[in-house]
Structure 1
Amino acid sequence: MSLITLAVVGKDNNPLYIRDFGSDSVYEPAPEQLTEQDPFGFFESQASSMSESSSLKNQFIMHSALDRLEELTNDSSSTERSSAGLNSMWIGLLGCFDEAKVYGYVTSTKIKFIASIEDIEEGNGNFVREAGLKVLFANAHELYVEYTLNPFSQVRAQKMMSSQRFDNGVDGLVTNFNDSFGKKGMSWM
């Protein structure tokens, strides 16, 4: 099981960040982009962003999952959640699309995190993988909060995120998730 796509969607359902993590979607920024524009990774990159690198198929899957997420979160019975911590924002499995399972996470400010992972039946591995996804979502949420605390971020303008620091943090989270729960070198496309 490896993570295929991660998306961050704004409260008005506008995409803030979407990125594929398959073996064929490798992004390598130019060295001058890393050092000249922002040596510390605090400001947004003006060059091409990794958050624009997502296949049309994966974008369609994310949009379909967003529709399901909206159905689940707009339900009157789900507005009052009794759990606390990671479970209060965890939505869980949104559906299976092709060879991917899609999971969701919604913050109290209605920012949505959606991830698709390869769908390989492994028996009781679902519970372990879901625990890993909860941690991945919580850490991605923390990275998002750090991004929004930057006074130069364009999050209020609801534009696509293009922060090198956020990208590097997400890279680390996805690498850790794939190393712990995935099978290296697997690609579903």
Structure 2
Amino acid sequence: MMMMIVCVAAVGHQNNPLYLQSFTNADDALKLHHIVHCSLDVIDDRVNNPKKTGLTLNEAFLGLLYPSENYKAYGYLTNTKVKFIFVTTDLDVKDADVRNFFKRFHSAYIDAVSNPFHVPGKKITSKTFAERVSAIVNSFGSNAPV
């Protein structure tokens, strides 16, 4: 299960960024943020046109959203319409690994927003959440700082 994750994001139901973390050098961060932004358009298209895309409304895993020459972006939609996206440099990724990542990321997200000091709809600033996300990313073979 070696998957090089270079960026993860949680985006609110109004496309407001809740959490965005790059695990590469600063030069690539802008490019990765652009890929995340482009992936949001794909998610909106899939959610708003489920018949065209074959997406069922109870399916949280959105699969591959945005393939490029060097990166692939995958998506997941929670029942509260929060979007999770990650970008990887591994161009041969197994769906089971992607689903496992999103399951673990979703669990960390739930714990973070369940904190009574977290303001719903605002950016997640919890250091514990950031450390947990880094640990999850590291477990998939990334170079994320812990």
Report the CA distance between 1:102 and its aligned residue: 0.6
User: Deviation per CA, 1:20-55, whole angstroms, max 9, x where unpaired?
Assistant: 112x36xxxxxxxxxxxxxxxxxxxxxxxxxxxx82
Report the CA distance between 1:101 and its aligned residue: 0.5
Residue 73 of structure 1: aligned partner: 47
Could you tell me which amino acid in structure 2 is paired with residue 11 of structure 1?
A: H
Q: How does 1:49-68 map to 2 (within 5 A)?
A: 55-68=29-42
Cα pair 2:38 2:66 within 8 Å, conserved? no
2:7 to 5, 8, 19: 5
The number of aligned residues is: 138
Residue 145 of structure 1: aligned partner: 110
Deviation >2 Å, runs of 4+: 76-81
Residue 113 of structure 1: aligned partner: 84
Tell me the distance in 2 between the aligned counterparts of 1:146 and 1:126: 27
Q: How does 1:1-189 map to 2 (within 5 A)?
A: 1-22=3-24, 24=25, 55-77=29-51, 78-81=55-58, 88-120=59-91, 125-127=92-94, 130-154=95-119, 156=120, 158-178=121-141
CA RMSD of aligned residues (A): 2.0
Q: Which has the larger radius of gyration?
A: 1
Could you tell me which amino acid in structure 1 is paired with residue 7 of structure 2?
A: T
Tell me the distance in 2 between the aligned counterparts of 1:64 and 1:176: 26
Give % identity: 33
Report the CA distance between 1:67 and its aligned residue: 0.4
Tell me the distance in 2 between the aligned counterparts of 1:80 and 1:55: 32
User: Deviation per CA, 1:51-73, whole angstroms, max 9, x where unpaired?
Assistant: xxx82211111000110111011
Report the CA distance between 1:137 and its aligned residue: 0.7
Tell me the distance in 2 between the aligned counterparts of 1:115 and 1:153: 23
Could you tell me which amino acid in structure 1 is paired with residue 122 of structure 2?
A: K
Tell me the distance in 2 between the aligned counterparts of 1:80 and 1:8: 19
Q: Which runs of 5+ in 1 are unaligned?
A: 26-53, 82-87
Q: Which runs of 5+ in 2 are unaligned?
A: none
